[in-house]
């Protein structure tokens, strides 16, 4: 330890160097923290590696290349052609978010949505398999179990079950078309290659579903697309999540056949009625309604049906206890079996059948229970 007589001094001024050193230490601490922050930024913005899947923002679209900001020190190019659909129509704009795969190394890195293997080597194929990078292939034909796929000079197999998320109806429709595939199996020297398009579609669906779940709550009104029609209703894709539009929720009037109102691929707006087990893919249940967004015909038209008036109607269905008659779109009434004729009727089929156009008399209207009692035997056929 130095005594007071041996403290270090500044030769030029004779002042104590200790005080200045303390001041400089504060600056040193600041510099150290700044250096650490800078190092942290560099780590955060570390250059991506080949095969990595990255998400970024499109900042520029040129004739040959688009440029994507992935958060690194430089924007990575992506072929503009990959932003277009099969018809050459551009699907993205500046400012859109896009997920792609990194290819190349060092200063020659770029992005691709799927590797085109027309001139690729086995090494490229092997790297794509290891990294999970999609590859682009062309469907050349079918065999007993699936599709024959050309991956440049390599041949691959895609089972029928791996082409779409659902069972395909027309395999011939896929021939001579190009798609992106994920490599599932890759044998030695590029033999026994098995690919899947379904795996990529499922990844996209899972990503979309994660965002959609935040919006799927009872009462929400969402845009969807009809994916399947079944006898009991329609399934609607809300964006990675499917909901059921039950036949009773398609329209205010009775719906016998969903295909008379909807078709696959149709965009529709629906209201969420019920949600169960959201986030559990195999147990998710989302109940939807189309009629909830349509005007209820009862309050508007019930006033046009005064008690005692004879009105025309159409027999919609016949049951053991009577017949249901459509008076106006979405408005039905019941002719009880006792009101079908002035004679004894053992079954309504003796008097009417579905599709008959008849005149009925309104006996009673119950707006709260939405019931209308009608009579065929009391009506005057000549009074409309």
Q: What is the pLDDT of residues 208-265, one digit of tens each?
A: 888 888 899 999 999 999 999 999 999 999 988 999 999 999 988 888 899 999 999 9
Q: 106 and 124 share a domain?
A: no
Model confidence over 275-291: pLDDT tens digits? 998 877 778 899 999 99
> In this structure, is residue 162 part of a structural domain?
yes
Asked if pLDDT for residue 1 goes beyond 50, the answer is no
Point out which residues pair with 150 in neighbouring strands.
138, 155
User: Are 271 and 309 found together in one domain?
Assistant: no
- Residues 63-120: tens digit of each pLDDT: 888 999 887 667 888 888 888 876 778 888 999 888 888 877 667 788 887 766 655 5
CATH at 224:
2.40.50.140
- Tell me, yes or no, whether 32 lies in a domain: yes
Task: State how far the Cα of 246 lies from the Cα of 249, in Å rounded to an integer.
Answer: 5
**Residues 228, 271: one domain?**
yes
Task: Give the model confidence (pLDDT) of 296-350 as tens digits.
Answer: 777 777 777 889 999 999 999 999 999 999 988 778 899 999 999 999 999 999 9
**What pLDDT score was predicted for residue 162?**
95
Is residue 278 a part of any domain in this protein?
yes
Question: Model's pTM, two decimal places?
Answer: 0.54
Q: How far apart are CA 140 and CA 184, in angstroms?
A: 19
Residue 208 lies in a domain: no
Q: Return the higher-pLDDT residue of 60 and 303.
A: 60
Q: Which of 293, 316, 341 is the last residue of a domain?
A: 293
pLDDT band at 8; cut points 50, 70, 90: very low
Residue 209 lies in a domain: no
Three-class DSSP labels, 252-303: CCCCCCHHHCCCCCCEEEEEEEEEECCCCCCCCEEEEECHHHCCCHHHHHHH
Question: Could you tell me if residue 383 is inside a domain?
Answer: no
Number of domains in the chain: 5
Look at residue 196 in the predicted model and tell me its pLDDT. 96
42-56, 240-254, 365-379: lowest mean pLDDT where? Answer: 42-56
Tokens of 52: 């990595």
Q: Is residue 180 one of the residues assigned to a domain?
A: yes
Q: DSSP states of 57-85 as a string?
A: EEEEE-SSEEEEE-SSSSPEEEEGGGGB-
- Residue 17 belongs to what domain range? 4-43
End-to-end Cα spacing for the chain:
120
pLDDT of res. 208: 84
pLDDT for res 139: 95
Same-domain status, 195 and 141: yes
| Three-class secondary structure of residue 329 per DSSP | coil
Contacts 24+ apart (CB under 8 A), 65-73: 66/92, 68/98, 68/100, 68/111, 70/111, 71/44, 71/45, 72/45, 72/46, 72/47, 72/48, 73/45, 73/47
Burial class (CB in 10 A: 0-12, 13-18, 19+), 114: buried
Q: Pick from 238, 272, 293: which residue ends a domain?
A: 293
Mean per-residue pLDDT, 150-166: 91
Residue where one domain finishes, among candidates 202, 234, 249: 202
Q: What distance in Å separates the CA atoms of residue 43 and residue 33, rounded to the nearest whole number? A: 15
Q: Which residues, listed in sequence order, are joined to residue 77 by a DSSP beta bridge?
A: 67
Residue 40's pLDDT band (cuts 50, 70, 90): very low
Shared domain check, 124 and 173: yes
User: Is residue 121 domain-shared with residue 197, that is, in the same domain?
Assistant: yes
In a domain, 270, yes or no: yes
pLDDT band at 7 (very low <50, low <70, confident <90, very high): very low
367 in the same domain as 317: yes
One domain for residues 196 and 131: yes
Residue with structure tokens 């200063």? Answer: 107
């Amino acid at each position: 330890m130095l005594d007071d007589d041996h403290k270090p001094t500044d030769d030029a001024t004779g002042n104590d160097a200790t005080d200045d050193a303390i001041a400089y230490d504060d600056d040193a601490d600041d510099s150290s923290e700044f250096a650490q922050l800078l190092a942290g930024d560099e780590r955060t913005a570390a250059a991506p590696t080949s095969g990595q899947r990255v998400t970024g923002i499109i900042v520029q679209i040129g004739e040959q290349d688009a440029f994507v900001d992935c958060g690194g020190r430089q924007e990575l190019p992506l072929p503009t052609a990959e932003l277009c659909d099969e018809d050459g129509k551009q699907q993205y704009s500046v400012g859109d978010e896009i997920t792609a795969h990194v290819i190349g190394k060092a200063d020659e890195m770029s992005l691709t949505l799927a590797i085109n293997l027309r001139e690729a080597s086995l090494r490229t194929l092997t790297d794509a398999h290891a990294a999970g990078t999609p590859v682009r292939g062309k469907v050349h034909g079918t065999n007993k179990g699936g599709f024959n796929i050309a991956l440049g000079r390599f041949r691959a197999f895609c089972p029928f079950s791996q082409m779409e998320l659902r069972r395909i109806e027309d395999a011939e429709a896929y021939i001579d078309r190009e798609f992106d595939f994920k490599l599932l199996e890759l044998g030695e020297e590029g033999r026994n290659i098995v690919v899947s398009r379904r795996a990529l579609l499922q990844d996209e669906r899972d990503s979309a579903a994660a965002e959609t779940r935040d919006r799927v709550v009872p009462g929400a009104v969402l845009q969807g697309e009809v994916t399947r029609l079944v006898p009991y209703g329609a399934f609607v894709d809300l964006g990675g999540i499917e909901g059921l539009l039950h036949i009773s929720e398609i329209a205010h009037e009775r719906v016998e056949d969903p295909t008379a109102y909807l078709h696959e691929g149709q965009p529709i707006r629906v209201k969420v009625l019920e949600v169960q087990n959201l986030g559990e893919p195999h147990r998710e249940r989302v109940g939807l309604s189309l009629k909830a967004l349509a005007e209820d015909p009862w309050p508007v038209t019930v006033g046009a049906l005064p008690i005692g008036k004879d009105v025309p109607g159409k027999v919609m269905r016949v049951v053991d206890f009577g017949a249901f008659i459509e008076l106006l779109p979405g408005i039905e009434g019941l002719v009880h079996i006792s009101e079908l004729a002035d004679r004894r009727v053992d079954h309504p089929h003796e008097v009417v059948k579905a599709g008959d156009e008849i005149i009925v008399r309104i006996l009673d209207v119950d707006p709260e229970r939405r019931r209308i009692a009608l009579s065929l035997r009391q009506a005057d056929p000549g009074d409309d």
